[in-house]
């Protein structure tokens, strides 16, 4: 498939935004249960604003993928059948929950504004955040299922696709949260978030590697024989019905040099997983904001390569009809 | 329930592209607007087509056969491109089974083209909406056209009658009979999309000729008996003909 940068940035930016919110809410849960000192709120407000900004940037990137962005409102109508439509609903919902959670922290409201006195700090943001967690995971599911539900693209049609979108998005968000926490908060919080970032990055490396192994062993279900219905072992295309390119040759091939395509796998494995882990471990030991920031930047850059490869590796059965221009 | 479809006879198709040009002509002139064409007479031409004729070579030289293979939207009975559409622009008409795109609702996200294993959908690079074969829906019901011509433009144009059009759910229709009697098959049946369009396979044409049919045993002049005459070596008819 053709890797479109609009979709690459959409999935990376919203993934990081979702992961950042998960990290912030987890730290809030730990703090409110007494496991950590309560942060002074700057981390939550700054992190919440950054998370909403990432989600909004992803949404903005998605508009560049559309031929008619002015009709984008229509995409919310077919949520009964279309995962893309469901994502279009889940993304603003996640933005709304994250924004409400951030505002609750910024203003310092608790449930007493509704007349409920739970005697616990942060109770309102915990309730809003719980809804945010549900929507955030729903958004991961929608984003992954957009690809996993296309049974024709064997490289995508696996639960690993959903798992990878969730784990890689979470990993990048937790790395970002670690860097933020190191800048704005104390060492205890940073160490916990850093440990989570490492665990998620490591697990993500395992599941992404599993999907690479799986995809290397795929046998295509369709062949030129089933595509044109002629039972002969030797069929060669001589003309595809166009003297040059067409939408079918542009949209379903990556058009990169074989050398670049092959090297992209190593590039993304190093940048997304190895380099961040190599920076996070000394970062936690030295509690160095610079190392966390570097890990964050490298991981996001690695995800660009990872997403590019995710699209480029997908081989669509329609390519059987478009092998030879004469 | 009606399911309109094309049945394409690969045994008859000569690959002349008349269906391609007549399709383009009809559909670029329709109410839905033009079909894009960029650099048509220049390097790297590209454009939107509903129908393309592809050519395949089957077998190994010198025992090869050329198969011309017209491909357009197959109007699947279980179209995978329809449920993925986020706006409802892509739909299948219940009354005649034609899969259509509402160009006023399409946002050009290309998701439906990913969900079609046949590559039947093409994004129009200028109108930025997804386009595909409509089975000439603006023609087949038009009562201002003579009844015999109320068929898709490609069917009317085919000089060898390789394209049949009709209702495959009516067991007595021309297309159903052709599928039944001539081994009509769908493309990529492994995906369960149940394409409405079918293809008729190449057929082997054999004549059994017996020896006594070549040489008339009762010929009184015995002129056809090779063994009694030396073969004539000399000019052939082509060599001596002067006109």
Flag whether pLDDT at B169 surpasses 60: yes
Say yes or no to pLDDT of A144 above 70. Answer: yes
**Which range (A72-76, A260-264, B137-141, B200-204) has the least confidence?**
B200-204
Report the distance separating Cα A68 and Cα B107, nearest Å. Answer: 5
pLDDT of residue A273: 97
pLDDT for A81-109, tens place per residue? Answer: 999 999 999 999 999 999 999 999 998 87
Structure tokens at B110: 């290309």
Task: For residues B58-83, give the mean pLDDT.
Answer: 94
Share of chain A above pLDDT 70, in %: 98
Interface touch A240/B52, C-beta < 8 Å: yes
Write out pLDDT tens, residues A23-57: 999 999 888 887 677 777 789 999 999 999 999 99
Shortest CA gap B86–chain A (Å)? 5
pLDDT for the residue A311: 97
Stretch 213-242 of chain A: residues touching chain B, C-beta under 8 Å? 221-222, 224, 226-230, 232, 234-242
Residue A156 forms contact with B (CB below 8 Å): no
Q: Is the pLDDT of residue A71 over 90?
A: yes
| pTM for this prediction | 0.90
User: Does residue B241 have a pLDDT over 60?
Assistant: no
Q: Does A101 touch chain B (CB under 8 A)?
A: no
For A245, phi then psi, to 5°, come to -80, 170
Q: Hey, what are A239's tokens?
A: 């003309």
A 16-75 near B (Cβ less than 8 A): 65-69, 71-72, 74-75
State the Cα–Cα distance between residues B27 and B51, nearest whole angstrom: 11
Say how many C-beta atoms besides its own lie within 10 A of residue B224's C-beta: 12
The radius of gyration of chain A's CA atoms, rounded to the nearest angstrom, is: 22
The Cα–Cα gap between A319 and A34 comes to 57
A5 contacts A13 by C-beta, under 8 angstroms: no
Task: Say yes or no for a CB contact (<8 Å) between B117 and A244.
Answer: no
Q: Tens digits of per-residue pLDDT, A204-247?
A: 999 999 999 999 999 999 999 999 999 898 999 999 998 888 99
**From the list A67, A241, A321, which residue is nearest B128 (CB)?**
A67
DSSP class of residue B108 equals: -
Decide: A245 and A325 in contact? Cβ < 8 Å. Answer: yes
**Which segment of A87-96, A158-167, B35-44, B158-167 scores lowest on mean pLDDT?**
B35-44
Q: For residue A36, what pLDDT is reported?
A: 72
Percent of chain A, pLDDT > 90?
81
Q: What percent of chain B lies above the pLDDT cut of 90?
A: 77
pLDDT digits (tens, 9 = 90+) for A283-305: 999 989 999 999 999 999 999 99
Asked if omega into B62 is within 30° of 0 (cis), the reply is: yes
- Residue recorded with tokens 């190994």: B60
The answer on pLDDT for B224 being more than 70 is no
pLDDT (mean) for B192-198 = 96
Phi/psi of residue B91, each to 5°? -150, 160
- Model pLDDT, residue B206: 79
Which residue in B186, B183, B189, B176 sits closest to B202, CA to CA?
A: B183
**Residues on chain B touching A72 (C-beta within 8 angstroms):** 107
Give the pLDDT band (50/70/90) at residue A316. Answer: very high
Name the closest residue on chain A to residue B132, using Cα atoms: A247
Q: In the prediction, which pLDDT does B223 show?
A: 62
What is the mean pLDDT of the segment spanning B224-238? 59
| Token pair in block for residue A110 | 């608790």
For B106-159, the pLDDT digits (tens) are 999 999 999 999 999 999 999 999 999 999 999 999 999 999 999 999 999 999
What is the distance between the alpha carbons of residues B86 and A149, in angstroms, rounded to a whole number?
Answer: 14
């Amino acid at each position: 498939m053709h890797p479109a940068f609009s979709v690459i940035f959409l999935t990376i930016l919203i993934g990081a935004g979702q992961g950042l919110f998960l990290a912030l809410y987890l730290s809030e849960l730990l703090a409110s249960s007494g496991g950590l000192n309560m942060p002074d709120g700057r981390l939550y407000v700054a992190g919440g604003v950054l998370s909403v900004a990432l989600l909004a940037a992803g949404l903005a990137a998605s508009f560049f993928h559309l031929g008619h962005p002015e009709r984008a409102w229509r995409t919310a109508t077919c949520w009964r059948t279309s995962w893309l439509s469901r994502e279009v609903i889940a993304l603003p919902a996640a933005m709304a929950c994250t924004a409400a959670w951030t505002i609750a922290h910024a203003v310092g409201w608790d449930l007493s504004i509704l007349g409920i006195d739970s005697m616990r700090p942060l109770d309102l943001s915990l309730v809003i955040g719980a809804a945010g967690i549900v929507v955030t995971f729903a958004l991961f599911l929608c984003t992954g299922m957009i690809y996993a539900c296309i049974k024709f693209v064997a490289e995508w049609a696996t639960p690993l696709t959903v798992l990878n979108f969730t784990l890689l998005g979470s990993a990048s968000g937790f790395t970002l949260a670690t860097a933020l926490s190191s800048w704005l908060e104390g060492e205890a919080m940073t160490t916990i978030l850093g440990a989570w970032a490492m665990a998620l990055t490591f697990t993500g490396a395992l599941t992404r590697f599993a999907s690479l192994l799986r995809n290397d062993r795929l046998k295509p279900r369709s062949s030129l024989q089933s595509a044109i219905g002629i039972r002969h072992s030797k069929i060669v295309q001589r003309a595809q019905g166009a003297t040059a390119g067409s939408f079918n040759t542009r949209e379903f091939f990556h058009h990169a040099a074989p050398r670049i395509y092959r090297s992209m796998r190593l590039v993304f494995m190093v940048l997304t997983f190895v380099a961040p882990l190599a920076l996070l471990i000394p970062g936690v030991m030295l509690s160095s904001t610079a190392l966390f920031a570097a890990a964050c930047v490298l991981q996001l850059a690695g995800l660009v390569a990872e997403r590019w490869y995710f699209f480029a590796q997908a081989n669509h059965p329609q390519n059987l009809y478009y092998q030879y221009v004469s | 329930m009606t399911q309109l479809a094309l049945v394409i006879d690969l045994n008859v198709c000569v690959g002349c592209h008349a269906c391609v040009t007549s399709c383009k002509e009809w559909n670029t002139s329709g109410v839905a607007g033009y079909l894009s064409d960029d650099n048509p007479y220049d390097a790297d031409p590209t454009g939107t087509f509903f129908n393309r004729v592809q050519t395949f070579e089957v077998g190994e030289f010198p025992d090869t056969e050329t198969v011309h293979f017209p491909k357009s939207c197959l109007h699947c009975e279980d179209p995978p491109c329809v449920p993925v559409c986020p706006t409802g622009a892509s739909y299948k008409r219940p009354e005649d089974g034609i899969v259509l795109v509402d160009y006023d609702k399409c946002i050009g996200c290309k998701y439906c083209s990913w969900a079609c294993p046949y590559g039947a959908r093409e994004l129009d690079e200028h109108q930025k909406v997804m386009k595909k074969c409509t089975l000439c829906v603006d023609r087949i019901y038009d009562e201002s056209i003579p009844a015999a011509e109320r068929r898709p433009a490609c069917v009317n144009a085919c000089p060898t009658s390789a394209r049949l059009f009709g209702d495959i759910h009516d067991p007595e229709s021309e297309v159903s009979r052709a599928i039944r009697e001539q081994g009509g098959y769908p493309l990529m049946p492994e995906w369960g999309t149940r394409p409405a369009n079918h293809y008729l396979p190449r057929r082997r044409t054999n004549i059994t000729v017996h020896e006594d049919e070549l040489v008339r045993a009762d010929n009184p002049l015995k002129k056809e008996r090779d063994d009694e005459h030396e073969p004539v070596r000399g000019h052939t008819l082509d060599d001596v003909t002067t006109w």
